Structures are given as structure tokens and as C-alpha cells.
Amino acid sequence: MTTTEAPVQNITDNEVRKAIVHYLRREDRAFRLRSKQIEHLTDNGIVRVMQAAASEIARLEALQVRAAATLSRRRGNPRSTEAELSLALSVTTRHAGAMIATAEALTSRLPDTFGLMERGRLDLARAMKVTNATAWLTDDAARGADASLALRLAGKNSTEVRKAATYAAKMADPEGAERRTRERRAARCLTLIHQDSGTATLSLDHAPAEKAAAAYARVNGMAKALKTSDEPRTLDQLRADVALDLLLSAEVGGTPPRMEGFLYLDLATYLGLNENPAELAGHGTISAALARELLAGPDTILRRIITDPLTGQVHDLGRTRYRPTAAMAEFVRVRDRECRRPGCARPAQACEIDHVTDWHHGGPTSTASLAAFCSCDHHLKDEPGWHYALAEDGTLTITTPAGLIHRSTAPPLHAPRTPQNSAHPRTSHPPQNDAA
């Protein structure tokens, strides 16, 4: 065997670090300043430090792009590579997927744009404007657009880069622009994005422009009709309420059909004695007041899960189920709350319940061997090189094809709560039996 064929796995972390430093020094030296030195710089010097830092960031991003493209090509399995990077870099699977697609495009068909990144003249965010604008082009047309953009991108902000890249793409393939319109309309989708403070964004993307405009006009008209002189809601609030009413019940102000979402709160909080935050599965924490308000309505679309204030374990499922298999699956869903792959927040009620130790290989059918996985992560388990193991204490160990180990525990729903550590007790003398 020749000396150049040493397997990559044998490079130590220290050697990787040295290689990165070498990479950074290939052209300009990396800018290294202590915070005290920055204090003494002129304004001009400070701005130049920021420019130098931006340039180094762009080059490091180029390094990451090259690495992602190499791993993706080597593995030839996008789902597996996505999950590997999502776990290793603590980014969402969607983000990891975008990173890989961008890396593949930059390293294979946008050599001039990637060259600007490697020279520190274009960062990843702006390079992604080019990959997005040229995604629909054939490889040849993309190379043509890339070449025509080579001298136009440096020094441009992201809006300018997007406009230039969109123009170059259309010029490279005028007929393709028509096909792209059809493809984009075919990619229409409804997306739910959870936000802080008990809110979420519901977004309908790539909708046909004429239908989206008509739908907005209808909602807007109904909202305006409701905006009488004694209506306290703003027009924005009314439009949001009308749209949700239409989606949930097909009539404004109607009763939404009952759907199951799990809302977890401890007993004392449920009874109004404490103000501990509650947890909405798949969403995150919401305030105690909002949780009680959501549960109080006769038309609530949520199911309450009461937890024991002292142990954080499930106390009451709110309703009894008798079929043992259904009860078991329900227990696992309630215990896991969300897909068990670390970083995945798909709610457990939308997940599949799976034997972590294969039933054929001696896995018992008990809640100790069952875990909730969304369909993506359920299938990932069967991809080559992925290994899942569930310990008796419920800790899930995931070994990735690259040999990295990630652990996930179904934690208590909350830390033990005593009158002392409860946040904002509503009464100064909480009852002694609030743990019952």
C-alpha cells in the first residue's frame, strides 16, 4: 500500500486542527486579536477587523462545504448523511439537508461561486442565494450562469446577489423558467413552525399565486365585516382568527373538531395552586395560565396529562383505555412526548411505536423496549451503519455510521417540584398534600 492511502479515521483531532490552521494560512494570515487590542483600534481599524473576520468566516464555511460534499459523495445516502450532520452539528435535519444540497451544488456545478467562498469573498448565506436561484438549472446551464456571475458577486449584499443570480439563471435557460414555475407550484406545502410564548407560524408555501391572493382577499373581507365599532380585536387579529376558524371548522366562530394534542402540567398547577410552566408536546413550554385556559374551554382540542409534582412522572392520562396493546403504545407516547431521536421534535402522537431491540432478536414486548420515532427516524434505524439500543432506564443510544455516539433520555417531565422550588406559587401557603 502506498503512503498516501492512510484511512481518514486515523487522523487525530489535533492533526485535524493543524490542518484547519494550515488551510486558513494558505492565503492571508488569520486575524488574531485580543478584545483589549480592539479597544485601542481606530474606527477604521475596527471595521477592517470585521471585514477580515467576515473573510475568515467565509473561508471556514467553504471548508465545511467541502467536507459536507465529500461525506455525502462517499456515503451516497442523503438521509443517512443528513442525520449524521444533524446530530454532529446540533442542527435540524432540514438545515443539514439544505447544507448538503448546497455543498453538492457548490462543489460540482458552481465552481466560480465556490472559488469566491474559498478566497473569503462570499459567505455561505450569499452563496446560498446562488444555489437557490440556480437549483432548477441543468448542470451545463448552471455552469454557464456561474461563469457569468463570477465577476458580479463580490461586494454585493444578499439581495443584490439573489437578483443577479436569478437574472443569470433565466438568461442561461429561458425555456426552463416556464418549467420551473410548474415545478414550484407542484412543491406547494403547508408548514407548521413553533415559536416562543405559546404561538406558532402556519405557512402555506409555493401556493399558486392567484389562489393565495383570492384566499387572502376572502379572509380579509370577512375580517373587515367583523370589525364593527365595538369589536376590540385588530384587523390583523381578526384575519388570523377567521383563517384559523375556516381551517378548523369550515365556519367562522364554529366549534373545532376534537383532535388529540398532549398538554402536560403538574397537579398543583392544574388546580391553580402553582404557576409552573406546562408543556405542549411538539411545541415546548407554555405558561400555566394559558394551559389552564386551553383546558378549561368546553371545545378544547387538547388532552391533559397530569404529572406528579414530586417525581415528574405521569400521574393521570385524563381518560382510561382498556386494550393492553393500545395502553402500552399510549404509555410510550406519553412518556416520550416527542420522537426519541435527539433534536427531533415531531410530537409522539404522530410517531410510530417501535421495538428498539428487534422482536425477532429477543426484544420483549414491554414499554421498556418500546420507543416513539417519527417515520423518518424510524426508517433511519434500518439504514446501514445506524445502531439503536435502549437501556433499561430508558436511555436510547444511537451509533451513527461515522461512529459518533448520541444518547437520548426520556427525562422526567419536569424537575421535582416542592413548595420551595415551585415558580411563583399562587398562594403563600400551598396545601401540604399537593403531591397526592
Query: Minimum Å distance from CB 293 to Zn ion?
Result: 30
Contact pattern from residue 290 through residue 329 relative to Zn ion, giving x for each residue in contact according to CB under 5 A and a dash for the rest: ----------------------------------------
Nearest CB to Zn ion, comparing residues 377 and 434: 377
Nearest to 372 by CA among 349, 395, 392, 391: 349
- Cα radius of gyration (the chain): 27
Number of chain residues interacting with Zn ion (CB under 5 A):
6
Give the whole-angstrom CA distance, residue 151 versus residue 122.
12
Q: How far is the CB of 295 from Zn ion (least distance, A)?
A: 27
Closest CB to Zn ion among 133 and 339?
339
Give the number of other CB atoms < 10 A from CB of residue 410. 20
Shortest Å, Cβ 378 to Zn ion: 8
SS3 content of the chain, % helix, strand, coil (to 5): 50, 10, 40
C-alpha span between 408 and 103 (Å, rounded): 29
Q: How far is the CB of 342 from Zn ion (least distance, A)?
A: 9
**Shorter beta-carbon distance to Zn ion: residue 308 or 338:** 338
- Decide: is 341 part of the binding site for Zn ion (CB under 5 A): yes
Considering beta carbons, is residue 347 or 419 the nearer one to Zn ion?
Answer: 347
Name the pairing type of β-strands 189-194 and 200-205: antiparallel
405's enclosing H/E stretch is: strand 405-408
Between 273 and 344, name the residue whose CB sits nearer to Zn ion.
344
- For Zn ion, the binding residues in 62-101 under the rule CB under 5 A are none
Report the distance separating Cα 276 and Cα 262, nearest Å. Answer: 17
Q: How far is the CB of 83 from Zn ion (least distance, A)?
A: 9
**Distance of alpha carbon 408 from alpha carbon 397, whole angstroms:** 7
* Residue whose CB is less far from Zn ion, 75 or 341: 341
CA dihedral over 327, 332, 333, 335, signed as positive or negative: positive
- Residue entry with cell 413548595: 419
CB of 262 to Zn ion, least distance (A): 16
Cβ of residue 340: shortest distance to Zn ion, in angstroms? 8
Residue 336 touching Zn ion (CB under 5 A)? no
Stretch that binds Zn ion, among 81-89, 172-180, 318-326, 333-341 (CB under 5 A): 333-341
Cell of 389: 439500543
Nearest distance from residue 380's CB to Zn ion, in Å?
8
Q: Which residue, 120 or 282, is less far from Zn ion as judged by CB?
A: 282
Is 245 or 377 the residue whose CB approaches Zn ion more closely? 377
At its nearest, how many Å lie between Zn ion and the CB of residue 49? 42
- Residues whose CB falls within 8 Å of the CB of residue 413, separated by 6 or more in sequence, listed in order: 264, 266, 279, 307, 312, 313, 314, 337
H or E element at residue 191:
strand 189-194
Binding of Zn ion by 398 (CB under 5 A): no
For Zn ion, the closer CB: 238 or 380: 380
Side-chain half-sphere CA neighbours of 62 within 13 A: 23
Whether residue 372 contacts residue 333, with contact meaning beta carbons closer than 8 Å, is answered with yes
Considering only 128, 280, 339, 372, the residue that binds Zn ion (CB under 5 A) is 339
Q: Which of 344, 356, 396, 398 is the binder for Zn ion (CB under 5 A)?
A: 344
Q: How far apart are CA 125 and CA 162, in angstroms?
A: 10
Question: In one letter, which amino acid is 377?
Answer: D
Distance (Å, whole) CA 274 – CA 423: 7
Site for Zn ion in 353-382 (CB under 5 A): 374, 377
Stretch binding Zn ion (CB under 5 A), from 14-22, 181-189, 265-273, 344-352 = 344-352
**Least separation in angstroms between CB 405 and Zn ion:** 18
- Please report the beta strands in 196-250, taking only residues with DSSP state E, as ranges in sequence order: 200-205
Nearer to Zn ion, 95 or 180 (CB): 95
Please give the angle made by the CA atoms of 75, 81 and 84, to the nearest 5 degrees: 125
Which residues contribute to the site for Zn ion (CB under 5 A)?
Answer: 339, 341, 344, 346, 374, 377
